[in-house]
Amino acid sequence: MARYIFITGGVVSSLGKGLASAALGALLQARGYTVRLRKLDPYLNVDPGTMSPFEHGEVFVTDDGAETDLDLGHYERFTGVSARKTDSVSSGRIYSNVLEKERKGAYLGKTIQVIPHVTNEIKDFLSVGEDEVDFMLCEIGGTVGDIEGLPFFEAIRQFAQERPRGQCVFMHLTLLPYLAASGELKTKPTQHSVKELRSIGLQPDVLVCRSEQPIPEKERAKIALFCNVRPDAVIPAYDLKSIYEAPLAYHRAGLDQAVLDAFQISPAPRPDLSRWEDVMDRLTNAEGLVKVAIVGKYVQLEDAYKSISEALTHGGMANRVRVKTEWVDSEKLEGEGAHLLDGFNGIIVPGGFGERGTEGMVAAAKYAREKKVPYLGICLGMQMAVIEAARNLAEMPDAGSEEFDHEAGESRFTPVVYHLKEWVQGNYTVQRKLSDDKGGTMRLGAYTAVLKPGSKISEVYDGALEIEDRHRHRYEVDAKYRERLEEVGLNFSGMSPDGRLPECVEYASHPWFIGVQSHPELKSKPFEPAPLFAGFVRAAMDNERLV
Ligand code: GLN
């Protein structure tokens, strides 16, 4: 049976709970334990799939097709453990399960209440797969004191109470603000936050204190005393240059030791930190720089492309270079012209939804093709590259995507990208209508692509002829234009196993121009970079237009 670590946050949001959880997971692995990380989000959306990237950042997709919070991306990048549908839940999902059961008469005529019905549903979620790992790390989204969070806090209180003593540990993240005028770090907000937790029956065992300034021993002792925590379980967390420093920095600060002490695991197995030492070596001893432009429409919030920027960093580590990413607003590019891309070693057009900004992406694909700049098109970025080839090489000036026609409510394009209504997933055929719900109805999760022998993409994957990456899209390049596009040089180098759905395109006559319908960035890790990103960075290094 797994031991549980519950991670909560107080004082302010955005303290880096997800990162602290992920780093702790990595440290427990370094000590030889198996881990799984889970996220419980108090918002009422059933999942983040329908939320704007501007609001919530990237939607992270799992192999089994769940649309989840971007923190699950951190968990995977730090532990290498593939997240599952059962690792992410929201209040919306919990309530919708409870209401569905109520309609089916599953509660045998009882009055349905937050305690026990909603809290029981949360506890059921926590227990899934508990026999599989040594440690289950469960992060509660939001901040203690939020109205929406209460059922989750109550559920973890009950959960720990029902388990044998010592099976659950509570870790709480807070902030120590620094008052420059008096030159002091203030502990009062932390005290209040812990008081708030204790008022709902939760006593933290470990406190992680974010601070911009070193925390003096005196203040640490004070926090321990006032918050009823052991002094060596008050862990300082300072700002880091790179998130990948977190495992080593938290280890030095004593986090994993404090957690194991709280479980009374003694002696604790010694950690092997070589994986993270190598990651840090690659990060700090990079030689050279490549400049990459990401041409997208959600560029105001960088979290919208979190996994892409991380995968680029990993691609840099694989080649021991630093990757400098610049965000180029595709709408701006539409207005001002593709010369905005002058001076970059490589261009990425990432995923996205809706028509706004897409002409700028088509212009970026044209620029990359003509100027022979390495290009990686991801999902929408592949679709735009196909539209560009259709318009400018295959004499289809009105080529476009059905997505934009649907959005505009009129037919303006010849749809080389069309709405997919039926496809094969494993042994099933999935069917969709345009009028279906928006949430959870895309082609989601891991799908196989069969690669053409000798193609560039196959070379990138070390000669593999089958690859599997995660998908999240409603529209699809129409295979009926394959011949016409291949005649003008755009090869369909990867197809779905049934040969119906184009998965990868590339130009044989270009140094490195690849479009993929999947999201390879989602599986990239610092210690196992996604081959397409490592290959793209390599090509960008070789690109002579050096900055
Ligand atoms: N909007 C496109 C589609 O739904 C692309 C999606 C994406 O880039 N993830 O097919």
Task: Verify whether ligand 1 is closer than 6 Å to residue 475 (CB atom).
Answer: yes
Query: Which residue range is the domain that position 113 belongs to?
Result: 3-279
Residue nearest to atom 10 of ligand 1 (CA): 475
Active-site position among 67, 379, 471, 476? 379
Task: Give long-range contacts, CB 8 A cutoff, 24+ apart: 260-267.
Answer: 260/31, 261/230, 261/232, 261/233, 262/169, 262/205, 262/206, 262/233, 263/3, 263/166, 263/169, 264/166
> 425 and 515 in one domain?
yes
pTM summary value: 0.92
The reply to whether 519 and 492 lie within a common domain is yes
403 assigned to active site: no
Q: Which atom number of ligand 1 is nearest to the Cα of residue 350?
A: 8
Expressed in angstroms and rounded, the spacing between residue 401 Cα and the centre of ligand 1 is: 10
What is the maximal distance between C-alpha atoms in the chain? 75
Q: How far, in Å, from the CA of 315 to the mean position of ligand 1?
A: 24
Question: Quick check: CB of 470 below 6 Å from ligand 1?
Answer: no
- Ligand 1: does its nearest atom lie under 6 Å from the Cβ of 443? no
Q: Is 403 in the pocket of ligand 1 (CB under 6 A)?
A: yes
What's the total number of domains in the chain? 2
Catalytic site includes residue 196: no
**What pLDDT, on the 0 to 100 scale, is given for residue 547?**
42
Residue 547 lies in a domain: no
Continuous H helices in 84-149: 91-103, 119-127
Distance CA 485, CA 32 (A): 51
Answer for the pair 441, 409: CB distance below 8 angstroms, yes or no: no
Chosen domain end from 253, 279, 305: 279
Q: Which of 226, 247, 279 is the last residue of a domain?
A: 279
Q: Which of 402, 503, 506, 521 is an active site residue? A: 521
Q: Determine, yes or no, domain membership for 335.
A: yes
Same domain, 386 and 476: yes
Separation of alpha carbons 390 and 206, rounded Å:
59
Looking at the structure, do residues 361 and 400 belong to the same domain, yes or no? yes
Same domain? For 301 and 273 the reply is no
Residue identifier of the C-alpha nearest atom 5 of ligand 1: 380
pLDDT tens for the chain, 547 residues long, are: 899 999 999 988 888 999 999 999 999 999 999 999 999 999 998 888 777 777 778 899 999 999 998 899 999 999 999 999 999 999 999 999 999 999 999 998 899 999 999 999 999 999 999 999 999 999 999 999 999 999 999 999 999 999 999 999 999 999 999 998 988 999 999 999 999 999 999 999 999 999 999 999 999 999 999 999 999 999 999 999 999 999 999 999 999 999 999 999 999 999 999 999 999 999 999 899 999 999 998 777 778 888 999 999 999 999 999 999 999 999 999 989 999 999 999 999 999 999 999 999 999 999 999 999 999 999 999 999 999 999 999 999 999 999 998 888 888 999 999 988 877 877 788 787 777 777 767 889 999 999 999 999 999 999 999 999 999 999 999 999 999 999 999 999 999 999 999 999 999 999 999 999 999 999 999 999 999 999 999 999 988 654 4
Q: Which of 8, 34, 10 is nearest to 21 (CA)?
A: 8
C-alpha of residue 417 to centroid of ligand 1, in Å:
10
- Pairing, β 322-329 against β 289-296: parallel
- 519 catalytic? Reply is yes
Same domain, 28 and 172: yes
Looking at the structure, tell me whether residues 186 and 261 fall in a common domain.
yes
Domain annotation covers residue 400: yes
Instruction: Read off the tokens for 511.
Output: 């140094």
Q: What is the CATH number of the domain that holds 161?
A: 3.40.50.300
**Which CATH number fits the domain that encloses residue 450?**
3.40.50.880
Beta strands in 176-214 (DSSP E): 178-179, 184-185, 206-211
The reply to whether 178 and 64 lie within a common domain is yes
Is residue 441 located within the same domain as residue 342? yes
Asked if residue 415 and residue 324 are part of one domain, the reply reads: yes
Residues 330, 350, single domain; the answer is yes
Residue 352, ligand 1, Cβ within 6 A: yes
- 472 C-beta closer than 6 A to ligand 1: yes
**Domain limit, last residue, from 279, 306, 326:** 279
* One domain for residues 237 and 303: no
Question: What are the structure tokens assigned to 5, written together?
Answer: 């670590």
Give the C-alpha separation, 69 to 83, whole Å: 11
Q: Which atom of ligand 1 is nearest to the CA of 474?
A: 4
Is residue 467 domain-resident? yes
Residue 386 near ligand 1, beta carbon < 6 Å: no
